[in-house]
Structure 1
């Protein structure tokens, strides 16, 4: 694998959009989609066309949300969950493919990534309502419902079946990346010259800025989120970051991350953030969660075996670790 020169740091992503060119312009819109903050940026001949492009990208993201959202009781995902232990559910080829890819990532990560983790959603709550940790018995019962190996896929009939009552699937650890990829794919098909789809830090890019320069992502200093540690050029590529700095709870003086290990039912420890760099945002999204759960050494060892994928891990002591293909460059 060729060494990739990346300008790196850790945690929150900021965008450098550059100055407007004389001909094309940069148009950006921020809105809430899929329960999170999306920023859609495009390079267009003028603002009017730019906003039309953005509206098309937003419509694509909303279309995907209607398929994969577990909050929408009419979505295909909700129908699968409602029929757990009852009957298989016929789904669209698109959702069938997403589930198949999710299962492959589960196999690669030894279950650290697992869309059946959703049975844990009612055990740990990170909305400020929890005052005590869940009972061990409740965690054990929820974990019994987890297991990507249990999902029954029927390619011939395009059906998905969860064989145990109470089993659930959810795409919280891969859905935003998938939506970003699909929105980018649509924009490229419509000859939009360049842009960024940023799904709350899970982002993908294409083309260049109006100046012809590369899109830059600044990742904040682990010791000061308000300061950029260094800049990373993202060229026709994607990045996703999982961190415990925004969503967590403190019980009896102990901090619990919102990222739950589906194999144990308990929050992960030892890592503050993981940033994954790869071609597809979908893969970045899933692997960022997986490496966070697997831990620094095991996670980086896995990434080092994967072609075209790189990682930066910030441990709980704010020390930065990297995969073998990354060379730090502090001078953007």
Structure 2
């Protein structure tokens, strides 16, 4: 775990260097100088940067709230509400908190929207691969074949009145890793607003939420990750306020075996890493929970059909980046996205 934290801290240093350049700091007087805190939760480095005259005890509230949600939804500790659901699969309903129920309910919405490309019951497949850990490996075909029947979001049973959840079949596993960070970002934003914060950046290991505007009233300029390079390299920028930016791609978590790279975005249908021409998808949305779920599912669906889905969603835009360095953007970004890397080019589709 210590080596993993060191890896994320190194990534975070690169993020901060880029963030300082892109976000800019309005230092015409002391009150505009930001205060920030960093911590490690949700298996990633989190930084909160605020540009208001607020007591720095606000960070205690923020990180306490993040820890509270993590303790309810993690599958990487000894106990949690999600672990209780998984332990009772095929047997009993489990009563959960509003937080956990809301995230599971939202997950089911995106499973329907994406026709199953987003599926939080992919947990058994995730465990087979263990990508992102020291135990990453390529499962056998027989292992994947035997595990795939345990993946089916339609077998998640919920009772909205009692906030109870059950997995229909024994051995099913919920993993909220593809949506929980988005929910956390939204909850942190709400907490900050309730405590009088008007200007800030919430960065959950690359899930970015821009709160309000910069102090001078201008929008935040956010870099869009180059998915063909390590974190901190950008292909372009967007100018936003009160927006979430979430990117899914092949650059974050992967391992190589016999000269082949295996990334962490796994197909609920095949049990293998998604194989298409995309290297990354960035989602710009009003709520981070939407961006989190959509970035994963739209990446899996692919450019053509994924773009159709995004164009039909209010308040959501996307940037698609292909493995051969082509870029496609949705209509809402036509006058906003600025390309800064000349090795990439736009395509019409």
Q: Does the 8 A contact of 1:89 with 1:161 survive in 2?
A: yes
**Does residue 67 of the first structure (1) align with residue 75 of the second (2)?**
no
Query: Shift in Å at residue 312 of structure 1?
Result: 0.6
Deviations 1:44-86 (A, max 9, x none): 226xx1x212222111111111111112332111110111112
Q: Distance in 2 between matches of 1:146 and 1:199?
A: 28
Q: Does the 8 A contact of 1:20 with 1:211 survive in 2?
A: no
Decide whether aligned partners of structure 1 residues 90 and 128 sit closer, same or farther in structure 2, where only a CA change above 3 A counts: closer
Task: Give the corresponding residue for 1:120.
Answer: 125
Task: Give the corresponding residue for 1:160.
Answer: 165
Count of residues in correspondence between the two structures: 317
**Does residue 136 of the first structure (1) align with residue 144 of the second (2)?**
no
Q: Distance in 2 between matches of 1:294 and 1:21?
A: 47
Q: Distance in 2 between matches of 1:239 and 1:311?
A: 9
| Secondary structure of the structure 1 residue equivalent to 2:128 | coil
For CA contacts below 8 A with separation 6 or more, give which structure has more relative contact order.
Answer: 1
| Secondary structure of the structure 2 residue equivalent to 1:157 | coil
Decide whether aligned partners of structure 1 residues 19 and 253 sit closer, same or farther in structure 2, where only a CA change above 3 A counts: same
> Which of 217, 220, 227 is the aligned partner of 1:215?
220
Q: Distance in 2 between matches of 1:250 and 1:331?
A: 31
Q: Distance in 2 between matches of 1:221 and 1:293?
A: 18
- Calculate the aligned-residue CA RMSD, in Å: 2.1
| Secondary structure of the structure 2 residue equivalent to 1:321 | strand
| Secondary structure of the structure 2 residue equivalent to 1:122 | helix
Task: Give the corresponding residue for 1:146.
Answer: 151
Q: Distance in 2 between matches of 1:157 and 1:185?
A: 25
**Does residue 37 of the first structure (1) align with residue 54 of the second (2)?**
no
Task: Give the corresponding residue for 2:110.
Answer: 105
Q: Distance in 1 between matches of 2:124 and 2:229?
A: 35
Query: Shift in Å at residue 222 of structure 1?
Result: 5.5
Decide whether aligned partners of structure 1 residues 217 and 68 sit closer, same or farther in structure 2, where only a CA change above 3 A counts: same
TM-score scaled by length of structure 2 = 0.85
Q: Does the 8 A contact of 1:177 with 1:203 survive in 2?
A: no
Q: Could you list the runs of 5+ residues in structure 1 that have no partner in the other structure?
A: 1-11
Deviations 1:173-195 (A, max 9, x none): 00111101101100001111211
Which structure features the higher share of strand residues? 1
Query: Shift in Å at residue 213 of structure 1?
Result: 2.6
Deviations 1:136-195 (A, max 9, x none): 111122211011100111123321111211101011000111101101100001111211
Q: Could you list the runs of 5+ residues in structure 2 that have no partner in the other structure?
A: 1-14, 341-349
Task: Give the corresponding residue for 2:309.
Answer: 302
Q: Does the 8 A contact of 2:318 with 2:329 survive in 1?
A: yes
Which structure features the higher share of helix residues? 2
